[in-house]
Homo-oligomer: A and B are copies of this chain.
Amino acid sequence: MPNFTRPTFGWHESRMQTRFILINTSHAGNVGATARAMKTMGFDDLVLVAPRWPNVLRREETIQRASGALDVLAAARIVDTLDEALDGMTHLCATAMTPRDFGPPTVSPRAHFESLSKKEHNREQSQGLEAQKVSESGVGFLFGSERFGMRNEDVYRCHACLSIPSNPAFGSLNLAAAVQVLAYEWRLALGGFAVQAAAVEADLADARQVAGMLAHLESALTAIGFLDPQAPKKLMPRLNQLFNRSAITQEEIHILRGVAKAMAQLAEGGRPPHQAPLPPSR
């Protein structure tokens, strides 16, 4: 399985480890949903500190909400204390308000991750481009319990307090929803995954093809009596603008020419094509 925490795409290949640390989590569903959210963004290192249910990784709700992220659950560790969750982590992000008295700066995820990713990039560059020379670094994201959030003494250990900008009157994201947003932002800061392009990118019509279609359409609209050639007003320029705004494709030009042809045929007394009599059977 590829190690998605170290992507080989994006603007640089970071050697940073990423770990999600859930402290005193109560709801099994949130553990499962966290595993799923992590995996969708290519992260796989999950540690639970003193969860409410010691068997939380095997509970039915956990597995159900994890959807296909069972590998993340299988590799997750359960530990008794936060200390045991922090090996290799050189930068700790609390998901909490900073305590009133003092504490790490409160920052927005996007701005902080951009700065963190650039610092790490510079560090790796200055240590040398060969993997062997670069010392390990790791980011740990800490999430407190659903009801009480993080304890101040845990926040004091962190380098930053992440605050997802939210409705001042209702700012409380669900735990796994917060994991999803942060995993998404951090993945983008690390270089991101490519957006899956559509299978087909249609060929744009050029201005000459548009003009030819419009001439065809104009004569058909005249033939059916919609357009008065003595008083055309601005109909054709208006249609020209409409098709310009829509960035019309070559295939769509063919469709509209077909429509024009059918209108003209009908006006000349012929039957529209789909009402033409069937050819005699043999």
* A contacts, CB < 8 Å to B: 1-2, 4, 33, 36-37, 39-42, 65, 67-69, 97-98, 100-103, 105-108, 110, 161, 163-174, 176-177, 180-181, 184, 187-188, 192-200, 202, 251
The answer to whether A67 and B172 touch across the interface, beta carbons within 8 angstroms, is: yes
Residue of B nearest to A105 (CB): B198
User: So how many copies of this chain end up in the complex?
Assistant: 2
With A40-B177, A100-B199 known, 5 other A-B pairs at CB within 8 A are A2-B169, A39-B170, A40-B166, A65-B174, A174-B176
- A33 vs B107: C-alpha distance in the bound complex, in angstroms? 25
In the complex, how many angstroms separate the beta carbon of A164 from the nearest chain B beta carbon? 7
> Which partner residue on chain B sits nearest A39 by CB separation?
B170
A200: chain B residues at CB < 8 Å are 100-102
CB pair A180–B173 under 8 Å, yes or no, is yes
Residues of B within 8 A of A37 (CB): 173-174, 177
Closest-by-CB residue of B relative to A33 is: B174
Within 8 Å by CB of A107, from B101, B167, B195, lies: B195
Cα–Cα distance between A166 and B36 once the two chains are bound (Å): 12
A-B contact pairs, 13 of them (CB 8 A): A1-B169, A4-B167, A37-B174, A40-B167, A41-B167, A42-B166, A67-B172, A106-B196, A165-B188, A165-B194, A168-B196, A177-B177, A180-B181
Please, which residues of chain B bring their CB within 8 A of the CB of A97? 196, 198
The answer to whether B41 touches A198 (Cβ under 8 A) is no
Closest chain B residue to A108 by CB distance? B195
Determine the distance from Cα of A174 to Cα of B231 in the docked complex, in whole angstroms.
57
A168's nearest neighbour on chain B, judged by CB, is: B193
- In whole Å, how far is A7's beta carbon from the nearest beta carbon of chain B? 10
CA distance A13 to B165 in the complex (A): 17
CA distance A105 to B98 in the complex (A): 42
Chain B residues near A197: list those with CB within 8 A: 106
Bound-state Cα–Cα, A49 to B4, Å: 37
Tell me, rounded to whole Å, the shortest Cβ–Cβ distance linking A142 to chain B.
17
Q: A100-B200, A102-B202, A181-B184 are in contact. Are A195 and B165 (CB under 8 A)?
A: yes
CB–CB A106/B33 < 8 A:
no
Q: Are B177 and A164 in contact (CB under 8 A)?
A: no
